Amino acid sequence: AQRVTQPEKLLSVFKGAPVELKCNYSYSGSPELFWYVQYSRQRLQLLLRHISRESIKGFTADLNKGETSFHLKKPFAQEEDSAMYYCALSHGSSNTGKLIFGQGTTLQVKP
């Protein structure tokens, strides 16, 4: 079964501390992995996709097929990073982006 697991509902860190939001997936084919972010009172928006291998707002995520993980990392958290973060999976060769979302992790960055 296709599944995305985010084990932490809430992650609370102090400003300047490193952050790692965990994401594990189960999928039998070739998935495409994403991180979406939802800031307070803003729309859900794409943060990262694994095939881009880019850093956005200081965040990076590496797909580890052996561990079936796609953890989101940032070396120094900022208060403006506080938001809900969703890891999501899509079939790599899909014609439409049917996304399967994890349950989400709320990141709280304290001053």
* Sheet with 72-74: strands ordered across: 19-21, 72-74, 60-61
Exactly one of 26, 55, 78, 103 binds another protein (CB under 8 A); that residue is: 103
* Contact between 86 and another protein per CB under 8 A: yes
* Contact between 7 and another protein per CB under 8 A: no
Rounded Cα–Cα distance for residues 86 and 82 (Å): 13
The least CB distance from residue 44 to another protein, in Å, is: 4
Nearest to 76 by CA among 30, 2, 17: 17
Q: Name the site residues for another protein (rule: CB under 8 A).
A: 32, 34, 42-46, 49, 86, 90-92, 94-99, 101-104
